Amino acid sequence: MCSETIKNDFLALVQDGFPLAGRPFKVIGGLLGIDEDEALGVYRTLKEEKIIRQTSAILDTKKLGYDSSLVAFAVCEDGIGEIAAFIGSHPGVSHNYKRAHDFNLWFTLAVPPDSKIGLSATVEMMAKKVGAKDFMILPTVKMFKIAVKLDTNKTKELKEKVVKKETESIDLTAHHYAVIAKIQDDLEVTKEPFFKIISELGIGYPELFALLDDLANGGYMRRYASILNHRKAGFVANAMVVWDIADEYALDAGAKAAEFSAVSHCYLRPRFKKWPYNLFTMIHASSTDEIERIISKMESELGARGHFVLTTLEEYKKIRIKYFTQDIYEWEKNILKEHRLCAPIV
């Protein structure tokens, strides 16, 4: 049985980047001072305990040509579970939460470049279908940070340097798209977890890892890594904190907010008369007290005119979407048919 230190160091390592190698657990074992079998055993345990949700490629939605946005609906509390189930039925919805606000249903939506409906019309059809009282489409104006890397081994300082990775101009080929289709699935728990992929593609390890390097260097793949269930990993508190920042200071404030290690997501989004907040931050911590301390520190540095903590009341969906599959087109076909025939579900 491995120590908690080994477990936490393992989690920190695979969040940062899972080794792209024919025998990745041998590589991990070498870095942690354990053998390959023990490293594989640690991974198997973390999967069985559901601390590791998934290990696969983390792809860049925008770079792949998808249109995406955060969306907020104001819906009736009665039947919100059924409404959330309908919203979550869209294959391009990756996150879907009930939050404590009049805008009580928040989700992220992505549609492919050849969508028959488009993002805005999809949201409007959804809103009509569920009888939403109001809604907001909140696309990214500026991304300052997106990196869910929980501090499992407690080595991070309060702040960290955010480095923007430079990308190369790479044209995707049929080989790249074939690899993209395979690397979105959860990795198998075996000594050679990439063997299934190379067998199905009819290529060797060098070819696979060269294609993955292309995707990373071109910015199509942010990294190949493990994503954790933050609560099971000990990070039981999280909050979406939105800030009202004067437009002339928004870029500076966003850069400052992104430096906080506990902030996993930091975006500038549009504001509305009914919604004054333009800077969105997602914070993860091990306690609500820690969350409050971080918010207080951020408040003292960002120069915000106000902020609001959007507490998560219920998680309806949290997955990685699958790119370039037929599911979305089937959903669009069905909703276009129903749009003319069906009454609202509430």
Question: What's the rounded Cα separation, in Å, for the pair 325 and 340?
Answer: 26
The active-site residue, picked from 95, 101, 175, 339, is: 95
Distances (CA, A) of 214 to 24, 176, 203: 19, 8, 16
95 a catalytic residue: yes
What single DSSP character describes residue 236? -
Contact 101, 310 (CB under 8 A): yes
Q: CA dist 127 to 60, 72, 328, Å?
A: 27, 10, 18
Query: 336: closest CA among 112, 116, 120, 127?
Result: 116
Rounded Cα distance, 301 and 241, in Å: 15
Cα distance from N-terminal residue to C-terminal residue, the chain: 52
HSE (side-chain half, CA atoms, 13 Å) at 129: 23
CB atoms within 10 A of CB 155: 10
Q: How far apart are CA 238 and CA 324, in angstroms?
A: 31
Catalytic residues: 95
